[in-house]
Amino acid sequence: MKSFKCPSCGGEMVIKRLACTKCDTVVEGTFTLGPLSRLSTETASFIEMFVKNRGNMRRVSQELGVSYPTARKQLEKVVRELEQVLAGEKTEG
């Protein structure tokens, strides 16, 4: 999982500034990240592939080049990570 804790004190990190790459408009404030942005890159990629394949695990396994049971194990790992992130959201809020 990605860590969004302050390296100095361990507090929650937030985004304070957003800037447009085209016109340089800047918006300042306090912005928090949603739970899906807290997932590892590997997990986010798997979710993207899973949705793209409309949840069809046979297609997911083919795209990954792994057996169906291996793809299923990866899905279970993704579910566990998502549950951990969502549980963290409940305890923080």
CATH architecture for segment(s) 34-92: Orthogonal Bundle (1.10)
Q: Note the pLDDT of residue 13.
A: 85
Going from N- to C-terminal start, the domains of the chain cover: 34-92
Q: Are 50 and 75 in contact (CB under 8 A)?
A: yes
How far is it, in rounded angstroms, from Cα 7 to Cα 16? 17
Question: Stretch 75-93: mean pLDDT, rounded?
Answer: 84
More confident residue, 89 or 9: 9
Contacts of 71 (CB under 8 A, 6+ apart): 57, 60, 61, 64
Q: Are 85 and 38 in contact (CB under 8 A)?
A: yes
Task: Convert the pLDDT of each residue in 36-53 to its tens digit.
Answer: 888 889 999 999 999 999
Task: Convert the pLDDT of each residue in 2-49 to its tens digit.
Answer: 557 888 998 888 889 999 999 999 999 998 878 888 888 999 999 999
Q: Note the pLDDT of residue 1.
A: 42
pTM of the model: 0.68
